[in-house]
Chain A
């Protein structure tokens, strides 16, 4: 009950803070607009599929080799992707490292392995997802071949259909600058929700109202839960405004699985609000806490591809980017939208929730300590 009481109070205050709401809603929208116009040349064209070429080595057993040849032919015909055979694995790996090819596919006996550069390499991801669906189909064929060899003919003739399906998704396979910034500005501004968490705790200290709250029979966990849920709600509302604007007014591509994408966004928001609250209790002096947040956000945002796609930055930054939770969030969202690839979703959510849990624990330990009263 006390928690609810605190949530309601928090929401009243946050909704009334018109200035913050305006900044958190309008600024990302304006930036989506400006950045997508300014950088429209850097997106789209560079990812024309006709330019994409893939390196491979073939040492497979005969049936796989035959099927894969057929697969490559189809892809080449339908999408214009070039397949180039390399002589050795070493050569393939080096080419991928030098970003000469979108990816390198190694076909050995009855296994297929794909090597790609660790970047937002949309064309590589596209090839990967097609190879995956090929492999699935091939496995199924093998099973059937064992039990009912006659059925193979029918299914093989069906095979091309499978890849044209993928092709039909292709129109949206690489993000335009609008698609890109609609996502990254939303996730970037969610980082600023840490300021909401921060000031909601700090202001209770400054106003001395925290003194009053702790003199009443409210439990610490009720207080913190109320605060965090209140801040979370308002931050999500702000993010939803940005989302709706981008998706429905600007027609940015948010993919077909909105719930999963929003789940990743929710996890990020829980993390930033908790981190903000944690910063507030860790730094007694207000200016220090604010400075920490204001330095951390741009760094994390840059490393997370918030301003410039990571595929356009150097190798060193790409290596460093793993420390930015935003990188994982953005990567997971883009993979879901453009490749139907969910592999990064649990990583992104896990990182966000893990950091949030640590932050909340620290906040709980530090809250109500005598110095803060």
Chain B
């Protein structure tokens, strides 16, 4: 059953179409990924799901309730981890979590125990009485999550929850997303880090300029680029000596792209032409800094579909 239905939703800011006639269905119990570069419209879409901004055209339904006419109900189904850390530095961790969970109707003993649970879940139980003022970015991000989950929402929406933190905290967060999902939560996870989305999500929508440009499981998405082998050669200098046409004459090569001082050479699957490619670079007398043979990933998918990288 679809727990969230987005039907032909459009949102404009002046001339910018932030979300463009977008439709999606999110199934109960899945971790759904919204992958797209900065400015793709991910946050705008999420703000419409949570009724924080109005929808210009189209409708969004959560558990069959319209977010326009039933906002207080649909809001109560969700918990949101905002893109920007949203916590009070002059309230302790426990007070923070209790306050936000209290807004969803929890009271008294239940409120306190649920809040403690959320802190334990995010690894902050021993910091319950501390003020988050001196916390590291990772700890603040974890508290940011605790504040969104204490009221046990059926749907948790996370907007880039791992921006700007250390790998250890990131790992902790990814593990807790999986655990929340195991406990029955539907998760909507946005990111511009394709590794995270690839690791976590059962289904992924790739978004660009407010539109879904690809949708499916990660296997389905990668099959878009299955026929491709990819070699990235980074050279020291003289990149202008490279003639794309000459490279394309090498057997198996289908396409060549140059990005700064990296040359991306695409070939048919199982072309076994790596030696010829390297030979080309040495014959030109270009100092090779690095050679990478790329397994197709979501980055490749995005690049193939849009001609741009996810992160610039």
Contact = CB atoms under 8 A, between A and B. Distances in A.
Interface of A: 1-2, 5, 9, 12-13, 16-17, 207-209, 211-219, 370, 373
Interface in B64-80: 71-73, 75-76, 78, 80
14 contacts: A1-B107, A9-B88, A13-B88, A16-B90, A209-B87, A209-B88, A212-B80, A212-B147, A215-B75, A215-B78, A215-B80, A216-B75, A216-B103, A373-B47
- Which 10 residue pairs are nearest across A and B when measured between Cβ atoms? A208-B86, A216-B103, A217-B72, A208-B84, A215-B50, A217-B75, A5-B102, A215-B80, A212-B86, A370-B53
- Interface centre among B53, B80, B102, by most A CB within 10 Å? B102
Nearest to A203: B88
A101 B9 CA distance: 77
Interface of A is mostly: helix
B95 interface: yes
Question: For A207, A208, A209, which residue has the most chain B Cβ atoms within 10 angstroms?
Answer: A209
Interface of B, secondary structure class, is loop
Interface string B110-152: 0000000000000000000000000000000000000110000
A370 B56 CA distance: 12
Contacts of B148: 212
B302 interface: no
Contacts of B103: 2, 5, 213, 216-218
Contacts of A212: 80, 82, 86, 100, 147-148
Given A216-B75, A217-B76, A373-B47, A9 B91 contact: yes
B99 A214 contact: no
B85 interface: yes
A213 B87 CA distance: 11
Interface of B: 47, 50-54, 71-73, 75-76, 78, 80, 82, 84-91, 95, 99-100, 102-105, 107, 147-148
Contacts of B147: 212
B102 A13 contact: no
Nearest to B104: A216
Contact of A207 (B88, B95, B102, B105): B88
A9 B86 CA distance: 15
Contacts of B50: 215
Given A9-B91, A215-B50, 7 more contacts: A5-B102, A9-B99, A212-B86, A215-B78, A216-B76, A217-B104, A370-B53
Contacts of B78: 215
B53 A211 contact: no
Given A216-B75, A217-B75, A5 B104 contact: no
Contacts of B76: 216-217
A176 to B, nearest CB: 41
A219 B105 CA distance: 13
A208 B52 CA distance: 12
Contacts of A215: 50-52, 75, 78, 80, 82
A212 B51 CA distance: 11
Contact of B87 (A1, A207, A216, A373): A207
Contacts of A370: 52-54
Contact of A373 (B52, B85, B88): B52
B86 A12 contact: no
A2 B75 CA distance: 15
B91 A211 contact: no
Contacts of A5: 99, 102-103
Contacts of A211: 52, 82, 84, 86
B69 to A, nearest CB: 14
Nearest to A8: B99
Contacts of B100: 212, 216
Given A12-B95, A212-B82, A219-B72, A17 B90 contact: yes
Contacts of A207: 86-89
